[in-house]
Structure 1
């Protein structure tokens, strides 16, 4: 990719707006065996019921089915714990080591694989499954999830386990500290303002395995382009980013494997 070499050289010589930022989605974790969220293998299953993420992954559903959602949460945590960071996660860690002061990693993923690969500068814009907070928002406190045994898909929480999931301040249900489909981004839990500022100061924003189906990722791309930065969409196929930004002169696409792109990128940085 000839453009990549030229873009990288230009960004590296800038004195301002010279951050190199990566935006990752579910596609980067698929090589670790984690199903993509919206793909054909990404339908959520609980017992004999089948849900689409857009209906299950909502606060409305949680408010009526808290026990079911918590059981699924500990099933997902089990899936994530059994997965291992893949080569792309470690390549990003290597790039961060090369440019620690100019590197940012914004992720939509809640699987913790970037951190397990050793990445430090990670902004989780969809939250994570390490934390929980009061479902009634009685305070701004965020709590570490209790040490509840991880679950199989058909294994329910016990009564004693459920008691560990009540808010210690008001006694209402807690909830996973993640962004659901019927909720909005904010700074406190999802780094809205922080990541928009990062995008503004990025000379290069690289999308890895995200389809651009939610608002903030698109806003980050728009912000980078608006202030003169470049955006490269690395995916196997065209997506919402392509549809929204292909007409912009600073938007490029790389159709292929994420690992292949990151190996190329790291080699160009060294050269």
Structure 2
């Protein structure tokens, strides 16, 4: 049986009403009054200005926490899947074992040194008092005036720009899935993050066929590439009965 690995990006969740990263209202297009998104979504910002970080994170991500999966997520529910998305919609759609390589919106960890083992648990978003947003977030995340404390304060379970892939994000398992794949299907991703570049390099080295599903696909240097210039929804409507 052909081992197909699906690797998804923000385009897959767009039809659930969640902005893509680089669109007009994208996550990385809208920053804060004083900082760009690339400055906001960093461990340094969390450590040195946690109030700003948590408010920005809350407005840009947490407000979408109750959105539901779309037909693409449901179609992927029984597939081998690595997603760059943190929205958790693949879990809501019933995929029991997918890899959220950049973390999950609905979980937090203790603030810890990268690479250390740490537990994940439910995020306290529903307890936030929006009338006093910053103070409420800081209290819920156990962050005092001196900033986050190791192994005491909470941190969103999300990989930030100045962090690296660790076992917390199942990086070794993700690499094994890539190595063992007979084909990779990239859906709704711009190939602008490390995990897609890693997968592409493995595909080249192992001569693995890839498919790229996107209305405006990024062109990659790989001889065994096939492009589907369509949305993920159109792709499953066209090829959904079989793995192409």
Same fold (TM over 0.5): yes
SS at match of 2:189: coil
Matches within 5 A, 1:12-51: 12=1, 18-42=2-26, 43-46=29-32, 49=33, 51=35
Question: For 2:217, what is the secondary structure of its paired residue?
Answer: coil
Structure 1: gaps spanning 5 or more residues: 1-11, 13-17, 97-102
Q: Is the 8 Å Cα contact of residues 22 and 106 (structure 1) preserved in structure 2?
A: yes
Equivalent residues of 2:182, 2:208 under 8 A apart: yes
Q: CA RMSD in A?
A: 2.8
When normalised by structure 1's length, the TM-score is 0.77
Aligned counterparts of 1:111 and 1:196: Cα–Cα separation in 2? 22
1:81 aligns with 2:58: no
Contact 2:117 2:168 in 1 (8 A): no
Secondary structure, counterpart of 2:241 in structure 1: helix
In terms of mean alpha carbon deviation, does 36-45 or 140-149 score higher? Answer: 140-149
Please name the residue that 1:52 is paired with.
36
- 1:216 aligned to which of 164, 175, 195: 195
Q: Compute the TM-score of the two structures, normalised by the length of structure 2.
A: 0.84
Distance in 1 (alpha carbons) for counterparts of 2:99 and 2:12: 16
> 1:64, CA displacement in angstroms?
1.8
Structure 2: state its 5+ residue gaps.
none
In structure 2, how many angstroms separate the alpha carbons of the residues matched to 1:84 and 1:200? 32
Q: How far off its partner does 1:209 sit?
A: 0.3
Distance 2:122 2:54 in 1: 11
> Please, which of 70, 83, 105 is the counterpart of residue 129 of structure 1?
105
Cα displacement string for residues 145-198 of structure 1 (whole angstroms, at most 9, x for unaligned residues): 453436698861445x53331389956532112111112112x12222211110
SS of structure 1 residue aligned to 2:126: coil
Matched, 1:199 2:178: yes
1:115 is aligned to 91
Q: Could you give the per-residue CA deviations for residues 29-81 of structure 1, whole angstroms, max 9, x where no partner exists?
A: 111111111222113344xx164321211112222211222233334554322
Give the corresponding residue for 1:261: 235
